[in-house]
Structure 1
Amino acid sequence: MTFSKLKSEILALVSHERLSIDERLLNICELLEANIEHYNWVGFYFKNGDKNELKLGPYVGEPTDHTIIPFGKGICGQVAVSNENFVVPDVAAQDNYIACSITVKAEIVVPIFVNGENIGQIDIDSNTSNPFTEADERFLEFVCEEVAKLLS
């Protein structure tokens, strides 16, 4: 499924008001993981209250021990501090990488902003080396903008 087709699916999922927010976020994860071949783990992390840490939200893929990530630690923790997208073509080349699975080769993390504040992020792991393009980045920014509307 193309990114443009997936955008309409995302809009439909976000607007499905009979489902809880977590159910809608999980449906987004499932949609992305099922339709984009190089998305092997898809999940959301959110700021954990007033703490300088992220807490795992809905996700699909292999279970992870990383349910809490301190700001600055790993790719997700770095995005919580930098407020910028982070594309990692080769996780083995990253000093500050938290390994979730030995099969993961690449990662992309895009922040979610509500009223100018970074409140969370979408995190995607791939078992393929260097799979993420600028098109992935723009598409995930769209997803995060729609999720932000849901959370605001």
Structure 2
Amino acid sequence: MFEALKSQVEKILSQEENVDTRLQLVCDLLREGVNYYDWVGFYFRNGDKEELKLGPYAGEPTDHTIIPFGKGICGQVAVSNENFVVPDVAAQDNYIACSITVKSEIVIPLLKNGENIGQIDIDSNTPDPFSEEDERFLEFVNEKVAQIL
């Protein structure tokens, strides 16, 4: 599944559309292509502020358009620069609930020239669906995205 999606991601990102359009198409592809990716979105550092701002996403609308560094899973990844896989969001103290249906989350930092400029965030309504394969795939997506930013 992920191998087929990789070539589709590369194809989308190589198009001439503007960056936000391409990122939206990637979000749509991942949400449709992986049955347990229920919400897929990009957050980016908001200028010089110590916060993340929501970029293109696919899924239910969210109130969390700005996330301070250190707050929630996304905010923690903005500080740690490390992948964060949450098999059960209910077991996390520092979790910002987007929806009562979300059971698990994976956040992968988006690095450009070694600097954390954002992240891809995926919520799942399935408990503990994410594997190392998801991590490697999403790292690949972020590497490709970084090339167009």
Other-structure match for 1:81? 79
Once residues 59 and 83 of structure 2 are traced to their aligned partners in structure 1, the CA distance between those partners, rounded to angstroms, is: 21
Deviations 1:11-47 (A, max 9, x none): 0000001x11000000000000001000000000000
1:15 aligns with 2:19: no
Alignment partner, residue 58 of structure 1: 56
Q: 1:114 aligns with which of 107, 112, 115?
A: 112
Q: Which residue is equivalent to 2:65?
A: 67
In the other structure, the counterpart of 1:35 is 33
What residue in structure 1 maps to residue 127 of structure 2?
129
Matched residues, percent identical?
Answer: 72
Q: 1 CA distance for matches of 2:108 and 2:7?
A: 20
Structure 1, unaligned stretches of length 5 or more? none
Moved over 2 A (4+): none
Deviation at 1:137, TM superposition (A): 0.4
Corresponding letter in the other structure for 2:3? S
Per-residue CA distance 1:57-109 (angstroms, 9 max, x = gap): 00010100000000000000000000000000000000000000000000000
> When the two structures are superposed, what TM-score results if normalisation uses the length of structure 2?
1.00
Say which SS state the counterpart of residue 7 (structure 1) adopts.
helix
CA distance in 1, matches of 2:111, 2:137: 15
The one-letter code of the counterpart of 1:59 is Y
- The answer as to 2:4 corresponding to 1:5 is yes
Whether 2:93 is the aligned partner of 1:95: answer yes
**Aligned with 1:31: secondary structure?**
helix
Instruction: Give the paired residue count.
Output: 149
TM norm structure 1 = 0.98
